Structure 1
Amino acid sequence: MTSVHRVAPDAYTFNILINSSCHAEGVDAAMRWFEEMWRRSCAPTGVSFNTLMRGFFRERRYKEGIKVAHEMLQLGVGLSVASMEILIGGLCHGGEALKAAEVFAEFLVDAVVPEGFDCLGLVESLCHVGEVDRAVEVVELVLERNMVCCLSVPAGVTVLECLLKAGKLDAVCQFMGRMVGEGIVPDIISCNCFSEALCEAGMTSDANRLRILAKEKGFVADGVTYTMLVQGFGREGRMKEGEAVLDEMLDLGFIENIAAYNRLSDSLHMRRSLQ
């Protein structure tokens, strides 16, 4: 093109060639165009690097894919949300969830993770391979680094569900409290699921504390939430706390009639009558 029409190729031209070569011949062929791009003093863009990174991961050449990400940072191109999704997603899909967690933590500490990147995929992959503690560490690091924007509600709920499944209820309380404190509040269905597990385990006070904390962040409990708490306090013989929740139910209109009230009151005082 340049010899016949005497038109100098630009970055867009080279990106087309790099992408086409990646798909048709493989990433090594694409690398030759990338090198030619440099030779002609045409600065690569984020698209150039992302295409190569995706190509390396497609061929399961993970070290080289990670190297591309580091080169982007060294050259001042910076990582976009798309870059992080290719990097972390490529490692996770290739069965390298632990390596993905390591790279993510490194970039998070170096403050190069772009705002808007959701660590959900990483968390899901870690939980899928049984690395729940590592998933918790990733989320805790996100919170410590004040990168709440990288932690979506689904990502947090995924970790909580894994902790619950593992029977780590104390960890559920601690982790959920940390999340809610940062304004990351699970949906009503998830909250009720966690509350039910805590209440059945004799941890109704913890469930109610989390409910109150979430309320301060805009969470609105429903009748199911309150009913579980009342019954939980009843089983534990905590009449005063249960009656306070029952009164709150009345004030919010969750008790339809006197029959419903009597059923809840009966469940609250049943333990006392048995004693």
Structure 2
Amino acid sequence: MSAAKFVSSFRLASLLRHEKDPSAAFKLFRNPNPETANPERPFRYSLLCYDIIITKLGRAKMFDELQHVLYQLKSDTRIAPTEVIFCNVIDFYARGRLPNHALQLFDDMPLYRCQRTVKSVNSLLNALLKCRQFEKMSDILLGMEKFGNPDACTYNILINGCFRNGCCDDAWRLFDEMLRNKVKPSGVTFGTLIHGLCRDSKVKEALKMKHDMLKMYGVRPTIHVYASLIKALCEIGELSLAFKLKEEANEGKIKLDSAIYSTLISSLLKVGRSNEVSGLLEEMRENLCKPDTVTYNVLINGFCIKSDTESACRVLDEMEEKGCKPDVISFNMVLAALCKAKKLTEASYLFEDMPRRGCGPDVVSYRVVFDGLCDGMQSKEAASILDEMLFKGYKPRRDGLERFLKGLCQNGNLEILGKVMGSLHQRDAIDAEIWSIIIDTAFKELKICHMSDSIDLLLTR
């Protein structure tokens, strides 16, 4: 029998790179040569091996295993890790919402034989921003001089943090400081500032900043700048100016995304200019910007608001024809519009057809159809939907259930009422308050004189 092939550090790096299962990769990393392991001659890992396994474990959020590898790296004095490895780990901790881990690793970087610069400071600031640790961001800034001068990335992160924390004045002070320190603002800087102005309804100031960023600072507006401005203009009804900005972006060879087109389509529908929507959709396709689910949902919502259920259903069909799968929100909007229009048969057909079309109903779907059937006095169908809803672990809206039960009492539908009460009891969806409502209604509507008689009557149905 031939001896097992020895795995070198070069071979290990290749094996780790091609191993898709992070748990298996970690096991391989821990013991690359199980049959030839020699405690007196430990395996000599390369920096590439460490980098690959750290990336795999970080992406998989296997933080306990990642900690083990980092501890081993700290002890492996042959290796001098690069700063980018720690920047990546700090980002992994941010995604896992582990800001204290990120802070600790940053403090420990010298123990790994790695010098900290503004790059790792920026990674830490960004991690704290993602975790909304605004006060800790300020603490890091106080000791910034030890690691180098703040760059554009530093200021961008800090300005973003100020806006997110509601400290708009501090954001503008940071921008002034940035200019004083001769740090050139970037497109991200202006995108953040303009977004903040738009959010505060300062659209005129935001438009001026867009003009100044090119004329005064030589920075071309980005898609994020146009997105913020177009959305803000649409919100205040300045559609002509919003479309002018769209044309300006197109002329500047800035590829607009579906979110911007969706905003414009929604605004057109709100002001009754639905005849212009088809042209905008055609422009999207010409610009190789494929309408997505959000775009189509905007269309569906616009038609539903106007009670144009026929057009809303047509959009659902078009989505599938164009290879864009409707989501549960798409179906729920149409279901709600059909129920509101008392088109209960169509709503029921659509509801039953959802699984075949690749989208199972959720709790909202069931509630919409149940409430619609109740309002339409279709008690038998409503009871069936309720039973299915309870079976799936969903519960109806409290007020809708109470109206349904009272209606059954008032109409003398004792057989359906008994089945519904039994179903509610079986699924633990009935409480003392519901019993009180039913018994009280039974006294008034069914002329039952004794509480025990009303309970017996319901339970024997």
TM-score after normalising by structure 2: 0.40
Counterpart of 1:60 (choices 246, 266, 272) is: 272
Cα distance in 1, alignment partners of residues 343 and 300 from structure 2: 16
Structure 2 residue 395 is matched with structure 1 residue 208: no
Cα distance in 1, alignment partners of residues 243 and 431 from structure 2: 56
Counterpart of 1:170 (choices 366, 380, 398) is: 380
Change (3 A) 1:62 1:39: same
Residues 320, 326 of structure 2: 8 Å contact kept = yes
Letter of the 1:78 partner, please give it.
D
Matches within 5 A, 1:135-154: 135-142=347-354, 145-149=358-362, 151=364, 154=367
Q: Output the aligned Cα RMSD.
A: 4.3
Cα distance in 1, alignment partners of residues 215 and 273 from structure 2: 35
The residue that corresponds to 2:227 in the other structure is 15
Cα distance in 2, alignment partners of residues 50 and 24 from structure 1: 15
The residue that corresponds to 2:401 in the other structure is 191
Question: Which range is displaced more, 4-13 or 186-195?
Answer: 186-195
Cα distance in 1, alignment partners of residues 391 and 453 from structure 2: 34
Change (3 A) 1:194 1:59: closer
The residue that corresponds to 1:78 in the other structure is 292
Cα distance in 2, alignment partners of residues 268 and 214 from structure 1: 14
Cα distance in 2, alignment partners of residues 57 and 153 from structure 1: 28
Change (3 A) 1:104 1:68: farther
Larger radius of gyration: 2
Residues 195, 207 of structure 1: 8 Å contact kept = yes
Unmatched tracts of structure 2, length 5 or more: 1-210
Structure 2 residue 395 is matched with structure 1 residue 182: no
Task: Give the superposition deviation at 1:90.
Answer: 1.9
The residue that corresponds to 2:120 in the other structure is none
Letter of the 1:211 partner, please give it.
M
Which SS does the other structure have where 2:293 is aligned?
coil
Residues 367, 397 of structure 2: 8 Å contact kept = no
Task: Give the superposition deviation at 1:32.
Answer: 4.5
Residues 177, 210 of structure 1: 8 Å contact kept = yes
The residue that corresponds to 2:17 in the other structure is none
Residues 268, 276 of structure 2: 8 Å contact kept = yes
The residue that corresponds to 2:368 in the other structure is 155
Which SS does the other structure have where 1:148 is aligned?
coil
Cα distance in 2, alignment partners of residues 268 and 94 from structure 1: 46
Counterpart of 1:26 (choices 227, 239, 255) is: 239
Cα distance in 2, alignment partners of residues 41 and 129 from structure 1: 45
Where relative contact order (Cα < 8 A, 6+ residues apart) is larger, the structure is 1
Change (3 A) 1:170 1:38: same
Cα distance in 1, alignment partners of residues 376 and 232 from structure 2: 44
Corresponding residue pairs, total:
234
Unmatched tracts of structure 1, length 5 or more: 237-261, 271-275
Cα distance in 1, alignment partners of residues 276 and 385 from structure 2: 35
Cα distance in 2, alignment partners of residues 227 and 155 from structure 1: 23
Percentage identity across paired residues of the two chains: 15
The residue that corresponds to 2:451 in the other structure is 264
Change (3 A) 1:90 1:195: same
Change (3 A) 1:56 1:128: same
The residue that corresponds to 2:435 in the other structure is 225
Residues 406, 438 of structure 2: 8 Å contact kept = yes
Structure 2 residue 232 is matched with structure 1 residue 45: no
